[in-house]
Amino acid sequence: MPRLGWRPRPTIEADHLTKRFGELTAVDDLSFRVEEGEIFGLLGPNGAGKTTAVRLLTCLVSTTSGTARIGGYEVGNGADAMRIRRMIGLVPDNVGLYEDLSAYRNLDFYGRLYERPERERREAIERLLKMLGVWAQRDLLVGTFSKGMKQKIAIARAMVHDPRVLFLDEPTANLDPEAAKTVRDFILELKSEGRTIFLNTHNLDEAQRICDRIGILRTRLVTVGTPAELEDSVWGQKTTILLVEATEPVRRAVESLPLRKVVWEGNRLTVDVTDAARENPTIVAAIVGAGGRVQFVSSLRPTLEDVYLKYVR
Ligand SMILES: Nc1ncnc2c1ncn2[C@@H]1O[C@H](COP(=O)(O)OP(=O)(O)OP(=O)(O)O)[C@@H](O)[C@H]1O
Ligand SMILES: [Mg+2]
């Protein structure tokens, strides 16, 4: 029996979650855990099962096997379904708003469904629409809105009942760069309030900027980690040095160093390093000692794109 005032932690857990549609396996043996206040991003090619994963976790489709829990409540368990619904918000991949209602009325309708008292609804809607920069358009019919504006209303709608776990399926897919930034800032604000966020995205830069951890899905979860961990898993750090001229003595001096991998491209030299602070001065000293002149020294780190391509190819 939970203590009085006890609130479950807004966690998301998947344990060997699997979904088959007939012969087709859309999500296979998916296991992961998202902690309170964490932003977890799911990347993966078209058809990888990202939307299906969100639909499983938000109780919209039944699981074939495996289990999932939101805040400790079991997805698919009838007794827990209502508790889960109150705890989660969903921004689906298609907005599905009432086109012949105004933005405000769309949100108010959802607030009523969740039985939020009128004053709370009004305050929540005003706050959300202002945060997303669409308060001025609140009384216009959603049917007249651009795709980006509709997307913002769908995001606000997902938050009207003040859920502690938010699922967003490609929330910035239709947004211009400025609107996408507004939405990213909005998501970070929700995180700072201790909410837990699950985000499907094709935007690697976005995942890199806001996700605490990222999973790459290809029906199965092929890898998961912080952006830095994933990047380090591709190749370590590299140093690139641009010389005025890559003379033969300079090349010989560099080749004589105990370096793992050295690639020359014209006057540019790229070296795999494990400890740049220790190795870079040695490399530069060897170059200068052989009469070479250095124009630039910079560090190259693998990008999330390198990680993504490694795992999805
Ligand atoms: N209701 C359904 N009935 C049959 N097959 C389905 C159904 N929903 C999804 N699928 C299939 O499951 C697979 C995963 O689809 P899903 O929509 O989850 O991929 P996704 O990763 O979200 O792709 P995208 O990046 O294009 O949004 C696809 O092969 C899709 O055709
Ligand atoms: Mg999808």
Q: Is the pLDDT confidence value at 237 over 90?
A: no
pLDDT for the residue 313 = 84
Assign residue 271 a region (left: φ > 0; alpha: ψ between -120 and 50; beta: otherwise).
beta
What angle, 0 to 180 degrees and rounded to 10, lies between the N-to-C axes of helices 177-192 and 147-159?
10
Domain count, the chain: 2
The ligand with the least distance to the CA atom of 27 is: 1
Q: What is the pLDDT confidence band of residue 7, given thresholds at 50, 70 and 90?
A: confident
- Residues ≥6 apart with Cβ < 8 Å to 69: 11, 12, 13, 15, 75
Rg (CA), the chain: 25
Q: What is the pLDDT confidence band of residue 38, given thresholds at 50, 70 and 90?
A: very high
The ligand with the least distance to the CA atom of 30 is: 1
Q: Are 155 and 91 in contact (CB under 8 A)?
A: yes
Ligand 1 contacts CB of residue 46 (under 6 A): yes
Instruction: Report which ligand 1 atom has the smallest distance to the Cα of 61.
Output: 1
Q: Is residue 274 part of a domain?
A: yes
What average pLDDT score do residues 233-259 get? 93
Both 201 and 264 in one domain: the answer is: no
Q: What is the pLDDT confidence band of residue 3, given thresholds at 50, 70 and 90?
A: low
For 137-196, what is each residue's pLDDT tens digit? 999 999 999 999 999 999 999 999 999 999 999 999 989 999 999 999 999 999 999 999
Both 203 and 276 in one domain: the answer is: no
Q: Are 102 and 142 in contact (CB under 8 A)?
A: yes
For 76-94, what is each residue's pLDDT tens digit? 888 899 899 999 999 999 9
Instruction: Report which ligand 1 atom has the smallest distance to the Cα of 53.
Output: 18
Question: Which range marks the domain in which residue 43 is found?
Answer: 12-225
Both 96 and 209 in one domain: the answer is: yes
Q: Is residue 1 part of a domain?
A: no
Q: Of 225, 243, 262, which residue is a domain's last?
A: 225
In this structure, what token pair is assigned to residue 73? 């409540």
In this structure, what token pair is assigned to residue 47? 């058809």
Q: Of 174, 203, 225, which residue is a domain's last?
A: 225
- The reported pTM is 0.88
- Count Cα neighbours of 263 within 13 Å in the Cβ-side half-sphere: 7
Ligand 1 contacts CB of residue 26 (under 6 A): yes
Instruction: Report which ligand 1 atom has the smallest distance to the Cα of 52.
Output: 18
Q: Is residue 312 part of a domain?
A: no
Q: How far is CA 166 from the centre of its chain?
A: 12
What average pLDDT score do residues 104-133 get? 96
